[in-house]
């Protein structure tokens, strides 16, 4: 394994695959904070060069955290198809990049080889890809999933209606929910972030969203994004759960910080199949994002992007209905500005798809980041072009409970119109019945929540 | 006329117009009434089925609903409102807690290792430990062995702290006194993050720490405070060992009412000897 070389008369020596991966990453503040980033632009390019010549076997044999020490590593390695891996283990990362981009590589060929890759290999190839590389590759891969609606069909784009309220007030939540539905948002899920994480309160929100869906005959699923242990208790007590949520990270230590483990996720999946309200078979909803590990001091000296790819490899085990990337939610210590956020979104969409997931993107920013609405909209358009399955839908783009900005109901409708995408099949029929949409366009009635009077 | 001449004349013309424009601009404020931007909520939906329903809905949530659309995009006024609120939120992050406020609060002021706002924002660890000077001050001046330590942190919203902490702290102390729960004197820690509570607990040797911390500003409010609880933190404490109650501000959980609510939770945590996920499980 070659870990050193000369560029422009300078000698670069790296000590491990982990170091090469980190230094080959595009510049991000989180990697600077954890002191794993390249020290100069030239060192970054040197790392990309060395990385492009590593073989997949080199990466396979040097996981960034050892198999014995980390549950995430174990889950990823246990899912790798050995037959496929052996076929391609001699490939270099540079060759893998070209293979992914070649016209002759079909979507199904890509899906097949991805089963022989570890998440670190997927992170590695993304580090030597530019924005258009990432978009071209992402367009080739699309995964479908089914809960009550089918997500991920070609030509369709779904949205989570996110009707949060700062104190979980029923009427306030329902008002935002009606607003979102009237813009055609809500086919991915009606998902409420609770302020109060108690079982009683979470059960109440599950019940009101479920009853609203029943009353209006809406083809979708409900979800309350409390901690998984709270949702599980609500479910066991008979609360109506269609989709179960949890945030995940790319190391066992960070997941422990989040209060999750494989055992707990297995239990949640089991009870969802046993007691959940939805058709399935995909009944889990995960959220991820670059930087959670480093902000919890649980990164083991691994860069944010590689850990994000590992999160996807871990998430894949539970066949989720949706995986939402919220890079940009944490703040400037992980992604400093709009440029870093846009890059992360493109990397994450590609890596999620290569890891076999039905991916969506939440191009988000917080108010202490050097970023604004223009950056968010650019990230939204680029990732929609790259074939994201879904986005969030927040009233006016301003989440009044979580205090951050995300795609608005207006942005959702715009992304569909500008790219000619339709809502999910079952939901589009419902929108037409309600008079909100006709032939894929919003009608004059759209945007009026009083249609639910 | 040669080219040079043409260019010179055009430039002169432009400069003349510019000067006229600037003198107009200078005069304008004197002639026109200075109009204040209106942030009032209005029903922006064109020809709704029932405008009253929308107006009513706008009252029960701070969310941007009933704002209508131009095609699929926001109407001009809603877009400007959004830009205005984003600008205000960005400015709120950059503001430091005022000396006047700290004087009035009248509790010890401690510091972390974060020496500047930019260090605080970009390096999480810098805000997670008291600086040596503050740590030894606390070591010398704390009573030790009390049940509860209250920490006030500026966090990411000094506005949130300045607007809410007087009422919130008074009502919380009152609530704890009524329950006969013993307390260290509350402390203010400048440029601190939630995890500084673990360092403080290791010094004052209390059972439970509650941090009242300014939340990162949102667009709807830049005045929100969160309360983070941890029961007997150790070096191995993790994020899910903490319980959080967020959105304490005038448009969420009222600061005067929050004290009773938070002290009920503290009382319950002390009796169940747990916080975070363990506490949530112990409750059921």
pLDDT tens-digit profile, chain B (284 residues): 566 666 666 667 666 665 655 555 555 555 678 899 998 999 999 999 999 999 999 999 999 999 999 999 999 999 999 999 999 888 888 888 899 999 999 999 999 999 999 999 999 999 999 999 999 999 999 999 999 999 999 999 888 999 999 999 999 999 999 999 999 999 999 999 999 999 999 999 999 999 999 998 888 777 889 999 999 999 888 888 999 999 899 888 999 999 999 999 999 999 999 999 899 888 87
Cα distance between residue B33 and residue B28, in whole Å:
9
Cα distance between residue B230 and residue A135, in whole Å:
44
Residue A437 touches chain B, beta carbons under 8 Å: no
Give the burial string for B86-122 (b: 16+ CB within 10 Å, else e): beebbebbeeebeeebbeebeeebbbbbbeeeeebbb
Cα distance between residue A113 and residue A40, in whole Å:
34
Cα distance between residue A383 and residue A376, in whole Å:
11
Q: Give pTM, 2 decimals.
A: 0.90
Residue B155 has which token pair? 């966090």
**So what's the pLDDT on residue B236?**
86
**So what's the pLDDT on residue A320?**
98
**So what's the pLDDT on residue B19?**
60
Residue B251 touches chain A, beta carbons under 8 Å: yes
Burial class of A378 by CB neighbour count within 10 A (0 to 12, 13 to 18, 19+): middle
| Cβ-Cβ contacts under 8 Å, A229 against chain B | 277, 280-281
Q: What is the CA radius of gyration of chain B?
A: 26
Mean pLDDT of the A410-426 span: 98
Q: How far is CA A88 from the centre of its chain?
A: 27
With beta carbons less than 8 A apart as the criterion, state whether A336 and A55 touch.
no
Among candidates B192, B186, B199, B191, which has minimal Cα distance to B151? B186
| Cβ-Cβ contacts under 8 Å, A373 against chain B | 82-83, 86
Residue among A164, A233, A448 minimizing CB distance to B49: A448
3-state secondary structure of A5: strand
ipTM of the complex: 0.95
Burial class of B160 by CB neighbour count within 10 A (0 to 12, 13 to 18, 19+): buried
3-state secondary structure of B213: strand
> At how many degrees (to 10) do helices B255-272 and B276-283 cross?
80
Residue A261 touches chain B, beta carbons under 8 Å: no
Residue of B nearest to A335 (CA): B122
**So what's the pLDDT on residue A289?**
96
The C-alpha of A85 sits at a distance from chain B's nearest C-alpha, in angstroms, of: 36
Say if strands B225-231 and B243-248 run parallel, antiparallel, or are unpaired: antiparallel
Residue of B124, B237, B241 to mutate, testing the A interface (most A Cβ within 10 Å of its Cβ):
B124
**So what's the pLDDT on residue B220?**
77
Cα distance between residue B9 and residue B24, in whole Å:
23
Cα distance between residue A249 and residue A119, in whole Å:
13
Residue of B51, B55, B63, B277 to mutate, testing the A interface (most A Cβ within 10 Å of its Cβ):
B63
Burial class of A4 by CB neighbour count within 10 A (0 to 12, 13 to 18, 19+): exposed
The C-alpha of B23 sits at a distance from chain A's nearest C-alpha, in angstroms, of: 34
Cα distance between residue A352 and residue A325, in whole Å:
9
Q: What angle do CA B158, B164, B169 make, to 5 degrees?
A: 110
Cα distance between residue A394 and residue A176, in whole Å:
8
Residue B215 touches chain A, beta carbons under 8 Å: yes
Instruction: Annotate A134-178 with DSSP letters as a single string.
Output: HHHHHHH----EESSSEE--TTB-EEEE----TT--HHHHHHHHH
Residue B49 touches chain A, beta carbons under 8 Å: yes
pLDDT in tens, A263-322: 999 999 999 999 999 999 999 999 999 999 999 999 999 999 999 999 999 999 999 999
Burial class of A119 by CB neighbour count within 10 A (0 to 12, 13 to 18, 19+): buried
With beta carbons less than 8 A apart as the criterion, state whether A75 and A317 touch.
yes
The C-alpha of A59 sits at a distance from chain B's nearest C-alpha, in angstroms, of: 30
Residue A115 has which token pair? 């089963």
If phi > 0 it is left, if psi is from -120 to 50 it is alpha, else beta; for residue A244 that is beta
Q: How far is CA A243 from the centre of its chain?
A: 16
Among candidates B251, B245, B176, which has minimal Cα distance to A196? B245
Instruction: Annotate B228-262 with DSSP letters as a single string.
Output: EEEES--TT--GGG-EEEEEESTTSB-HHHHHHHH
Residue B83 has which token pair? 């830009």
Instruction: Annotate A70-117 with DSSP letters as a single string.
Output: -HHHHHHHHHS-HHHHHHHTT-BHHHHHHHHH-TTS-HHHHHHHHTT-
Among candidates A386, A434, A383, which has minimal Cα distance to A411? A383
In what helix (H) or strand (E) does residue A304 lie, and over which residues does it extend?
A: helix A304-315
Burial class of A88 by CB neighbour count within 10 A (0 to 12, 13 to 18, 19+): middle
3-state secondary structure of A245: strand
Give the burial string for B16-48 (b: 16+ CB within 10 Å, else e): eeeeeeeeeeeeeeeeeeeeeeeeeeebbbeeb
E strands, A289-329, where?
322-325
Residue of A nearest to B122 (CA): A333
């Amino acid at each position: 394994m070659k870990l050193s070389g000369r560029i422009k008369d300078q000698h670069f020596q790296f000590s491990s695959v982990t170091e090469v991966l980190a230094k080959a990453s595009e510049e991000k503040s989180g990697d600077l904070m954890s002191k794993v980033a390249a020290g100069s632009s030239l060192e970054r390019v040197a790392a990309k060069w060395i990385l492009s010549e590593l073989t997949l076997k080199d990466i396979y044999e040097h996981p960034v955290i050892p198999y014995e020490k980390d549950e995430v590593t174990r889950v990823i390695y246990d899912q790798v198809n050995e037959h496929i891996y052996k076929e391609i283990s001699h490939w270099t990362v540079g060759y893998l990049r070209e293979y992914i981009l070649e016209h002759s590589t079909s979507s199904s060929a890509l899906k097949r080889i991805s089963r022989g890759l570890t998440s670190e290999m997927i992170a590695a190839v993304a580090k030597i890809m530019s924005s258009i590389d990432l978009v071209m590759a992402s367009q080739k891969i699309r995964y479908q999933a089914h809960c009550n609606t089918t997500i991920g069909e070609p030509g369709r784009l779904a949205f989570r209606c996110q009707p949060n309220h700062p104190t979980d007030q029923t009427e306030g939540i329902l008002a935002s929910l009606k607003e979102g539905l009237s813009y055609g948002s809500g086919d991915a899920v009606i998902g409420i972030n609770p302020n109060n994480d108690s079982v009683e309160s979470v059960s109440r929100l599950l019940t009101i969203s479920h009853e609203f869906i029943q009353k209006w005959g809406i083809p979708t699923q409900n979800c309350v994004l409390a901690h998984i242990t709270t949702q599980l208790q609500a479910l066991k007590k008979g609360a109506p759960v269609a989709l179960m949520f949890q945030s995940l990270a790319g190391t066992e230590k960070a997941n422990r910080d989040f209060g999750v483990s494989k055992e707990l996720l297995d239990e949640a999946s089991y009870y969802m199949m046993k007691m959940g309200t939805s058709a399935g078979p995909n009944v889990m909803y995960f959220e991820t994002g670059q930087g959670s590990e480093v902000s919890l001091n649980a990164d083991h000296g691994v860069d944010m992007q590689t850990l994000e790819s590992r999160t996807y490899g871990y998430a894949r085990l539970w066949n989720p209905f949706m995986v939402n990337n919220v890079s940009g939610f944490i703040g400037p210590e992980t992604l400093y500005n709009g440029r870093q956020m846009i890059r992360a979104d493109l990397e994450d969409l590609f890596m999620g798809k290569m890891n076999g997931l039905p991916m969506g993107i939440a191009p988000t920013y917080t108010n202490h980041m050097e970023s604004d609405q223009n950056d968010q909209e650019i990230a939204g358009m680029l990732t929609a072009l790259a074939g994201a399955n879904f986005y969030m839908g927040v009233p006016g783009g301003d989440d009044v409970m979580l205090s951050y900005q995300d795609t608005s109901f207006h942005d959702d409708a715009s992304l569909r119109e500008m790219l000619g995408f339709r809502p999910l099949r079952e939901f589009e029929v419902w929108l037409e019945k309600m008079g909100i949409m006709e032939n894929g366009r919003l009608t004059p009635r759209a945007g009026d929540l009083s249609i639910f009077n | 006329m040669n080219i040079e001449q043409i260019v010179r004349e055009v430039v002169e013309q432009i400069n003349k117009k510019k000067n006229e424009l600037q003198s107009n601009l200078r005069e304008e404020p004197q002639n026109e009434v200075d109009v204040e931007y209106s942030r009032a909520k209005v029903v922006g939906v064109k020809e709704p089925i029932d405008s009253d329903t929308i107006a009513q809905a706008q009252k029960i949530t701070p969310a941007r609903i009933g704002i209508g659309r131009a095609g699929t995009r926001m109407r001009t006024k809603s877009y400007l409102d959004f830009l205005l609120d984003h600008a205000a939120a960005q400015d709120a992050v950059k503001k430091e807690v005022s000396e006047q406020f700290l004087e009035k609060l009248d509790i010890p002021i401690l510091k972390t290792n974060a020496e500047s706002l930019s260090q605080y924002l970009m390096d999480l660890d810098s805000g997670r430990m008291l600086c040596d000077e503050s740590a030894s001050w606390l070591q010398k001046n704390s009573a030790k062995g009390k049940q509860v330590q209250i920490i006030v942190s500026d966090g990411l919203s000094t506005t949130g702290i300045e607007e809410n902490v007087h009422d919130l702290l008074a009502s919380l102390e009152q609530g704890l006194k009524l329950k006969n729960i013993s307390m260290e004197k509350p402390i203010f820690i400048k440029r601190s993050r939630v995890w500084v509570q673990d360092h403080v607990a290791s010094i004052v040797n209390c059972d439970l720490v509650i941090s009242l911390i300014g939340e990162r500003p949102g667009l709807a409010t830049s005045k929100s405070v969160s309360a983070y609880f941890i029961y007997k933190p150790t070096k191995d404490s993790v994020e899910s060992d903490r319980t959080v109650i967020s959105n304490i501000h005038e448009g969420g959980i009222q600061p005067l009412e929050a004290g009773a609510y938070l002290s009920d939770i503290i009382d319950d945590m002390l009796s169940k000897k747990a916080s975070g996920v363990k506490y949530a499980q112990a409750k059921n």
